[in-house]
Amino acid sequence: MIKLLLRKFLQGLMMILIVSAVTFALLGFAGGDALSQLRDNPQISEATIERLRSVYGLDQPLPVRYFRWLSDAITGDLGESMYFRVPVSGLVWARALSTFLLGSAAFAIALTFAVPLSFIGVRYKSTTIAAFVNLLILVTASTPRIVLALVALAISVRLTASAMEGSSSVLFWLAALALSAPLISIFLAQLHGELQRTMREDFIKLARAKGLSEGAVILRHAIRPALNPVLTIAGLSLGGLLGGSVIVESVLGRQGLGTLMVSAVRARDLPLVMGIVLFTSTAVWLGNALGELLQAVNDKRIRDLGF
């Protein structure tokens, strides 16, 4: 168990180091930053720009800058946003809360679709329900989030005479629904398929032979082993969720991490871009680790194996 956690931790650390180094290098090599835009302003002399460069440490070679940034980042200091003129970490935390709420709502929606539908589908073995489940998987998998978000916007505009006022909770749930569509597809496909597979195992036959009702067989014996792959997928889907939040937040005008990233990119605010990349990759890694941890809690075999 400890070994498993340690391994996950080291893997994640490596991943974050590599990602941050590559992003940093790309941003550095491509040249140009928020300061190079100042060149267009005739009132600012070249000397001023050079001075600002040394203030921000942009005149140092790239590896030096990276290690300085990294050592600051370890202490929780991600530098100052060049565009917003406030510390990056405060900005990211404030916006991350809103995105976290939206993402949690999307997760909740996906689970409320996936769990009962797979249960009913396996319990009653009806071909109609199976066909419906397959259709739902196809539709939710192939409807892009940007389309859903735009439709949500069109609906909310239709619902309310003056667009954005008084309907913030409606808008929130519409956004969460748009964000959750691919999750519904992934969870439903995984859970339904895995439950069907588990129901063919020998221990299910044993449970039935004991005289348990079909519902009890599923709830007490089939759900737990079928849940493991779903947990892996749930951990892995966090990356897509964060990417999707960029779109959903931008379309529906929510102030979250995604919209912050967009404004950072448009302003070429490198400290902010780096901060968000670091934050999101850490969050994704934590999500993966949490998924594996829950699996270990759920499945004694993994716990004992400790690989």
Partner 1 sequence: MNEHLSRDGFSRRRTDRVAIFGWLVVGLFALSAVFAGFLAPYDHGAQSRFEPSAPATRIHFSGLTPIIHPRRVEDPLRRTYTEDTSVSFPVGFFVRGYSYKLLGIGETNVHLFGVRSTSGIAPRINLLGTDQLGRDRFSRLLYAVRFSLIVTMIGVLVACLVGIAIGGVSGYAGGFVDTFLMGATDAMLALPTLILILGVRAAFPLELPIIRAAMLLLLIFALTGWAEIARLTRGLVLSLRQREFVFAAVALGVSQTRVLFRHILPNILPSLRTRAILLLPTFLLAEVALSYLGVGLQEPEPSLGNMLTAASDLDQLRSQPFNVLSPAIAVLLFTLAVRLIASSERAQ
Chain residues binding partner 1 by CB under 8 A are 11, 14-15, 18-19, 23, 26-27, 29-30, 32, 138, 141-144, 146-147, 150-151, 153-154, 157-158, 163, 236, 238-244, 246-247, 250-251, 258, 261-262, 264-266, 268, 270, 273, 276-277, 280-281, 284-285, 288
CB 131 → partner 1: shortest distance, Å? 11
Rounded to whole angstroms, the Cα distance separating 140 from 147 reads: 11
Rounded to whole angstroms, the Cα distance separating 107 from 265 reads: 27
* Closer residue to partner 1, CB minimum distance, 19 or 70: 19
CB 37 → partner 1: shortest distance, Å? 9
* Closer residue to partner 1, CB minimum distance, 141 or 293: 141
CB 252 → partner 1: shortest distance, Å? 11
CB 247 → partner 1: shortest distance, Å? 6
Rounded to whole angstroms, the Cα distance separating 147 from 287 reads: 27
**Burial class of residue 31 in the structure, from the number of CB atoms within 10 Å of its CB (0-12 exposed, 13-18 middle, 19+ buried):** exposed
The answer to whether the beta carbons of residues 257 and 101 sit under 8 Å apart is no
* Closer residue to partner 1, CB minimum distance, 183 or 241: 241
How big is the chain by its Cα radius of gyration, in Å? 24
Rounded to whole angstroms, the Cα distance separating 240 from 187 reads: 13
CB 189 → partner 1: shortest distance, Å? 11
Helices (H), 220-269: 223-252, 257-266
CB 156 → partner 1: shortest distance, Å? 9
Task: Compute φ and ψ for 80, nearest 5 degrees.
Answer: -110, 135
* Closer residue to partner 1, CB minimum distance, 33 or 194: 33
* Closer residue to partner 1, CB minimum distance, 190 or 288: 288
The answer to whether the beta carbons of residues 270 and 65 sit under 8 Å apart is no
CB 151 → partner 1: shortest distance, Å? 7
Tell how far CA 8 is from the center of its chain: 18
288, containing H or E segment = helix 270-298
* Closer residue to partner 1, CB minimum distance, 142 or 213: 142
Residue 244, Cβ neighbours under 10 Å: how many? Answer: 26
CB 148 → partner 1: shortest distance, Å? 9
Selection from 240, 110, 248, 131 nearest residue 185 by Cα = 110
User: What does the DSSP assignment read for 42-64?
Assistant: TTS-HHHHHHHHHHHTTTS-HHH
* Closer residue to partner 1, CB minimum distance, 115 or 233: 233
